[in-house]
Amino acid sequence: MNKNRLEAFSDGVLAIVITIMVLELHVPAEPTWPALLHELPTFLSYVLSFVYVGIYWNNHHHMLHLAGRINGGVLWANLHLLFWLSLFPFTTRWINDAGLAQVPVLVYGLNLLLAAIAYYILKLALIRQQGRGGALEEAMGRDWKGKGSPALYIAGMALTFVNPILGIATYAAVAALWLIPDRRVERFLAHA
């Protein structure tokens, strides 16, 4: 089984997830700047979720690029990841509707955490399928971002008990960390 259709299906799901979130944006109650400004927190949570889906698409793209043939376990590990990513429009909407309340911000962090774990499981399934010492294991070996993110999501969730804004700020900081270009995989590919 080749990986092209897996990539195409994942691209489709991620493209839809990233795009339908716009349907959740509230149109301002009045055609005025203050009314638009009032929707700013909603807009920022949209930006955050957009960036996260973009990061996952980007990383998924790189990881699959190094993978070889795939099997049933990889297919389901991939669907498991897509499941948690497909919940972003829902958890984002709850934050917006409830106005940055504690429980929705915790649930958003949980969503990020479960997506990160699902990504890790997919990575293990791909490495196992490729065999030890393959291109994937070598390139992904010292993946400190992947290992550190779950700890930071938990820290963000803990900070939410102090103030939900601190939680969101932590999630945003993790996203910023991922936006810094990661030269590892690309360098590896350049040398391959």
Instruction: List interacting residues with a copy of itself (CB under 8 A).
Output: 1, 5, 7-9, 11-20, 22-23, 25, 27-28, 30-33, 36, 47, 50, 54, 57-58, 61-62, 65, 71-73, 75-76, 79, 82-83, 86-87, 89-90, 93-94, 97-98, 101-104, 107, 179, 181-182, 186, 189
Q: How far is the CB of 14 from a copy of itself (least distance, A)?
A: 7
Burial class of residue 41 in the structure, from the number of CB atoms within 10 Å of its CB (0-12 exposed, 13-18 middle, 19+ buried) = middle
User: How far, in Å, CA of 103 to CA of 105, rounded?
Assistant: 5
* Residue with Cβ nearer a copy of itself (2 or 132): 2
Q: How far is the CB of 79 from a copy of itself (least distance, A)?
A: 4
H or E segment at 63? helix 40-66
**C-beta separation of 67 from 127 below 8 A:** no
Using alpha carbons, select from 172, 181, 128, 178 the residue that is nearest to residue 153. 172
* Residue with Cβ nearer a copy of itself (43 or 120): 43
Q: How far is the CB of 46 from a copy of itself (least distance, A)?
A: 9
